[in-house]
Structure 1
Amino acid sequence: MHTEFPALLGAGLILIAIFYLGFLSIKIKVPGVILYILLGIVLAGSLGGNELLHFASEIGIVLLFFLLGLEFNVKRLGGIAKKIWPSGLLDLFLSLGVTTGIALLFNLDLFSSFLIGGIAYATSSSITAKLLDDRGRMANIETEYILGILIFEDLVAPIVVAILFGVSSGETFTTISFLTITGKIVGLTLAAIILGKTVFKKVETLLDRIADEDFKIALLTGIALSYGGLALYLGLSEVLGAFLAGMMLAEIGKIEKVEHTVFPIRDLLLPTFFVYFGTTIDLGNGVPMAGLLVVVLIWSIIAKILVGILGGPLYGLPKRASLRAGLSICSRGEFSVVIAGVATGVLKAFSGLYILIAAFIGMVLFERAPKIVTRIYGKPQKKKKDLRVPGS
């Protein structure tokens, strides 16, 4: 008698596989993210379009950015915004603008060229943030700059997606459409600031009065998912909404209380995002537009390194930290997958191969960044302490 394979059994097996791959990553010293993506590619035939996996992955990525937003209250975010815009525009020009021009030189039409530029533009926020956390680099001098670039890209990428979706659907993308999307982003951000300064100032007192962790989990996860979902409802990115939700709660001061409650759920569900990401990669048949693929890969990596080398000093970073930052933002991921969803045929296969290869190269460069910087600039010299007795 044939029985349908239970979704519950499948979910359990995926979690066991995630545990094994996480354990294996420690043993072989390969980022777990790479193994999770490979698992998704292997299981794409049976898990492609799986709603349960997709939903779990959405929660995982939302909680990652919710916790990330906790590190940025309004005052700190405002300070970063003042400093990041020159580097952000440099990134936009090099990664999106120049890549679009390269595709045009290969005789692609403007829409296809802009789509490839969009795929090559946004760094994978999830991969980069996860690696920063896993490798203990959150306290590094360049991390604030990296996060600033990611935030800038997360604000621009939804506009790029909206333009591509509008054009692909046959609609004319007008100035009004552009202003509407920009208005939604500004409105969502202003609402987060106002709520953070008013309503959420009282959350700390509420959390102190709740002894049961279950209720805290429900409240905090509900806030993160609601604001992420609101962003989706407005046609924006859920990671932007989740980040803003974290920023609202950053105003309470003692963010450790929130982090302690949310960390376990994030750690459980975040790997499912990378598994799901793997299932969305369509490798197609063969290597389409191989020459363009190689050129775009090489340039997109050079562009991000230049964003570090040239943009880092604009932000106030020393040259060592600037290079380390550039080497750490080469991965492509979630936004590239969303943009690639607009593509069809050969362009879809091209996009899938680019994302897969760029994600791997980016993660390798992230791992090697400290050693590469040391090889180029030498070991940092320790400052000698002045042990002279005053007056001698």
Structure 2
Amino acid sequence: MFFISAIAPLFPPLLATAEAENAPIVSSGVLLSLVAIYFASKLGAEVSKRLDFPPVLGELVAGVVIGVSALHLVIFPEGGLQATDSAVMSVLQWINGLTPEALNSVFQSQSEVISVLAELGAIVLLFEIGLESDLRQLQAVGTQATIVAFVGVAVPFAVGTVGLMMLFNVAAIPAIFAGAALTATSIGITSKVLSELGRLKSKEGQIIVGAAVIDDVLGIIVLAVVASLAKTGEVDVMNVIYLIVSATAFLLGSILLGSIFNKTFVALVNKLETRGNIIIPAFIFAFFMAFLGNAIHLEAILGAFAAGLVLDETDARNELDELVKPIADLLVPIFFVTVGARADLSVLNPLIPENRAGLAIAVFLIVVAIVGKVATGWAVFGQPGINRLAIGVGMIPRGEVGLVFAGIGSASGVLDKPLEAAIIIMVILTTFLAPPFLRVAFGQSEEPPTGGEPSMEATAVSKT
């Protein structure tokens, strides 16, 4: 295998043949990983439901159990993990007698496939959330959502950065990077919990979702600023301006596109006579919008969410809602389980010396992360009877977005081990605390849910 790798540049067809021989084994690894993911997600969701918690919390916990923190059934190369650390790879090696080099190649390929499926799950989830959201309601709370988003970015960033520098003597650039990680909000996790609680279409739910979308855009801009600062010590002003303009144009353009595209979509659907006449054109549009989001250096999930908002205004939305659900049931659990699987809880172990400094910083970051986002609920004005606590709690989870910040900071060499561990701990705890906290926050509301919001299923029925 070493010889083949050495002469690969001279004989690329030979290398392709060698890699092609492993393709069936990669498929076996993917299939075995999916068995573990689906079994864990369903078991976790059912247990969580019976304990009266949101099912998504069970999926996250299930991911932790089968991930790097426990069983090692679903792990990824990030963080220095090897193929020999994977239980799935051990099974494949036992069955196929793979060499260490071949095993590592299979592990890399299998991990990439699972990561892509998880990304597709996130895209489908945000497309579904866009379909379930009401564009008119989102526009009605647009000002409130924008204020909530800006407060949710500014307060944690400022307090976190200054606090790290003053209390822990962290250097300016690492402190800024950690402060930036505090700005993130996982729209996928929050929106899924809101759907499960039947609160997605409530005024609080629409403010949270709108603010999370804007927060995602702001987070990308902040990340671009701190990443350029980490690389060169200077901020690329032109890149920041480009991101601001492209993000604004993309979101506003998507909304304006709705009135034009809706008629075209319905006319196309009416002319198609084969199976998939609604769902296939819908996903073509969703994936294209997700591609555009990536192409202009935003997030694919923002494009998918915008596509869902646009198609929610069409006459075919009722049938489309029902057609998307089985696809979401198949792909979305992969996303949530892999989020949990990537969470390495070993950073919480105080017996490891390098974790102790990180734990002290983590306590500070967790307090700032929670208080900084909860404070956003009190930025809402002119809304009597609004559940401000629920809005603030809905902005807490950092999820995969926060892990992206930590990963980029680690790769750039800006973050030392204690600070990196502290950020990861903050991301893990805010992700897992938000679902039960959100349920409690809504339980404290004196206003019952308005008609038509009791559940996702009821929402779909109410549209018919």
1:70 aligned counterpart, secondary structure: helix
Would you say the 8 A contact 2:151–2:376 is kept in 1?
A: yes
Q: In structure 1, which of residues 274, 293, 296 is the aligned counterpart of residue 362 of structure 2?
A: 293
Verify: 1:27 aligned to 2:20, yes or no: no
Distance in 2 between the 1:109 and 1:361 partners? 29
Task: Return 187-196 or 266-275, whichever deviates more.
Answer: 187-196
1:319 to partner: Cα distance: 4.8
TM-score of the aligned structures, taking structure 2 as reference length: 0.73
Q: In structure 1, which of residues 179, 188, 195 is the aligned counterpart of residue 241 of structure 2?
A: 179
Distance in 1 between the 2:170 and 2:159 partners? 14
In the alignment, residue 307 of structure 1 is paired with which amino acid? T
Q: In structure 1, which of residues 355, 359, 364 is the aligned counterpart of residue 436 of structure 2?
A: 364
* Paired residues, number: 372
Verify: 1:43 aligned to 2:67, yes or no: yes
Would you say the 8 A contact 1:204–1:252 is kept in 2?
A: yes
Q: 1:315-334 alignment to 2 at 5 Å?
A: 316-319=382-385, 321-334=387-400
Q: In structure 2, which of residues 208, 211, 222 is the aligned counterpart of residue 146 of structure 1?
A: 208
Structure 1 counterpart of 2:154: 93
Structure 2 counterpart of 1:64: 125
2:278 aligned counterpart, secondary structure: helix
Going from structure 1 to structure 2, the CA distance change for 1:187 and 1:149 (only over 3 Å counts) comes to closer
Structure 1 counterpart of 2:376: 307
Would you say the 8 A contact 2:127–2:304 is kept in 1?
A: yes
Unaligned segments of structure 2, at least 5 residues: 1-23, 78-110, 411-416, 449-464
1:61 aligned counterpart, secondary structure: helix
Structure 1 counterpart of 2:115: 54
Going from structure 1 to structure 2, the CA distance change for 1:348 and 1:289 (only over 3 Å counts) comes to closer
Q: In structure 1, which of residues 342, 345, 362 is the aligned counterpart of residue 408 of structure 2?
A: 342
Would you say the 8 A contact 1:288–1:349 is kept in 2?
A: no
1:192 to partner: Cα distance: 2.1
TM-score of the aligned structures, taking structure 1 as reference length: 0.85
In the alignment, residue 124 of structure 1 is paired with which amino acid? S
Would you say the 8 A contact 1:221–1:262 is kept in 2?
A: no
Going from structure 1 to structure 2, the CA distance change for 1:110 and 1:31 (only over 3 Å counts) comes to same
Q: Which has the higher contact order (CA 8 A, sep 6+)?
A: 1
1:230 to partner: Cα distance: 2.0
1:69 to partner: Cα distance: 2.3
Structure 2 counterpart of 1:390: none
- Cα RMSD (Å): 2.6
Unaligned segments of structure 1, at least 5 residues: 382-392
In the alignment, residue 371 of structure 2 is paired with which amino acid? I
Distance in 2 between the 1:305 and 1:120 partners? 13
Identity of aligned residues (%): 23
Going from structure 1 to structure 2, the CA distance change for 1:297 and 1:233 (only over 3 Å counts) comes to same
Going from structure 1 to structure 2, the CA distance change for 1:263 and 1:359 (only over 3 Å counts) comes to same
Q: 1:197-276 alignment to 2 at 5 Å?
A: 197-210=259-272, 212-276=274-338
Would you say the 8 A contact 1:185–1:236 is kept in 2?
A: yes
Going from structure 1 to structure 2, the CA distance change for 1:201 and 1:172 (only over 3 Å counts) comes to farther
